[in-house]
Amino acid sequence: MGERKISFNYTETSPQRLDKVLLAHSPELSRARWLNLIKEGFVLINGSPARKGGQLVQSGDRIEATIPPAQPIDLEPEPIPLNILYEDAHILVIDKPAGIVVHPAVGHERGTLVNAVLAHAPQIEGVGGEVRPGVVHRLDKDTSGILLMAKDEHAHRWLQDQFRLRKAEKTYLALVDGKPPTPKGRIEAPIGRSAEERKRMAIVPPGKGRVAISEYRTLEVFPRHTLLEVHPLTGRTHQIRLHLQFIGCPVVGDRVYGRQKPTLPINRYFLHAARLSIILPGETQPRTFESPLPRELNALLDTLRHYGG
């Protein structure tokens, strides 16, 4: 079944949670599926993206939803090597390499991180949903670095709350073309689905997307490039890549939101999740996990330091 759309007006007199309204209107989709569609920007209220499942719908509100084709759920464990930084009975902290997709999707049914984790920890099957078991947050295919996976439902809810309440501190390293307008700064630009291509995200006018905030500071300056430390305060899809493009310095190697022809010899984009501080389930103080910069990214920096660029 292909993409389908639904639209209707909420006619009840009492306000109701959006997720409950959607579930009552289209019960063939699970609540988890609806929550994910809301998170991904596929549900609109009066023409603006819904903020969360708990958002109240008022009488007369117009609700529109785009439902993309369901993703495959025939997940198979695969013995793919994992670089595990930390593991206990509840979570996994993985150092993800570039080039691997986090969870199965159309075009990437096998060889994902979820397939690998299912082979290592079979108990994650179904945790947080059938399609993305154990997934708490995501990294893009060509982004490397720290990724958390939950091994049980309690840990999944706990970790998701840490991210939702902005209690998790994330640090990325990004090499960009050019330099930002100031050595350090804060970027506030809402993100929503691209009107031209639904598979892409875009910076959209206020009120038309979800709030997105990133902070950055300069670590090293080269003649035509800048190494930045970036702290995303929200977790929108492709946020860092879009925000850096927005201020005129796209990530090196990003052929989607940057330059079609990379300015340096790189087969991925230069974006790495280097550090994550978060309170683990059952604990009271945050732990910090770090991932060293991958060899190919270090080599690129060494080349710039020795020969300029």
What mean pLDDT do residues 260-289 have?
Answer: 95
CA distance 137 to 153: 14
Q: Do domains 4-67 and 84-164 have the same CATH topology?
A: no
Per-residue confidence (pLDDT) for residue 308, from 0 to 100: 66
- Is residue 259 pLDDT above 90, yes or no? yes
Per-residue confidence (pLDDT) for residue 306, from 0 to 100: 87
Looking at the whole model, is its pTM more than 0.85?
no
- What is the residue extent of each domain of the chain? 4-67, 84-164, 169-307
Per-residue confidence (pLDDT) for residue 107, from 0 to 100: 63
Per-residue confidence (pLDDT) for residue 305, from 0 to 100: 93
- Is residue 71 pLDDT above 60, yes or no? no
Question: Model confidence at 108, in pLDDT bands (50, 70, 90)?
Answer: low
DSSP for the chain, please give it. Answer: ---EEEEEE---SS-EEHHHHHHHH-TTS-HHHHHHHHHTT-EEETTEE---TTPEEPTT-EEEEEEPPPPP-----------EEEE-SSEEEEEEPTT--SS-BTTB-SS-HHHHHHHH-GGGTTTT-SSSTTBSS---TT-EEEEEEESSHHHHHHHHHHHHTT-SEEEEEEEEES--SSSEEEEE--EEE-SS-TTSEEE--TTSSB--EEEEEEEEE-SSEEEEEEEESS--TTHHHHHHHHTT-PBTT-TTTS-SS-SSS-SS-SEEEEEEEEPPTT-SS-EEEE-PPPHHHHHHHHHHHHH--
What mean pLDDT do residues 151-156 have?
Answer: 91
- CATH class for domain 4-67? alpha beta
- CATH class for domain 84-164? alpha beta
Residue of higher predicted confidence among 154 and 36: 154
What mean pLDDT do residues 158-168 have?
Answer: 90
- Is residue 150 pLDDT above 80, yes or no? yes
Per-residue confidence (pLDDT) for residue 174, from 0 to 100: 98
Per-residue confidence (pLDDT) for residue 59, from 0 to 100: 94
What mean pLDDT do residues 99-121 have?
Answer: 85
- CATH number, domain 169-307, options 3.40.50.300, 3.30.2350.10, 2.40.110.10, 1.10.287.990: 3.30.2350.10
- Catalytic residue list contains 140: yes
User: Tell me: the pLDDT tens digits for 197-234?
Assistant: 767 899 998 877 889 999 999 999 999 999 999 999 99
Per-residue confidence (pLDDT) for residue 307, from 0 to 100: 80
List the catalytic residue out of 19, 61, 140, 177: 140
Rounded percentage of the chain residues whose pLDDT exceeds 70: 94
What mean pLDDT do residues 157-186 have?
Answer: 94
- Is residue 27 pLDDT above 70, yes or no? yes
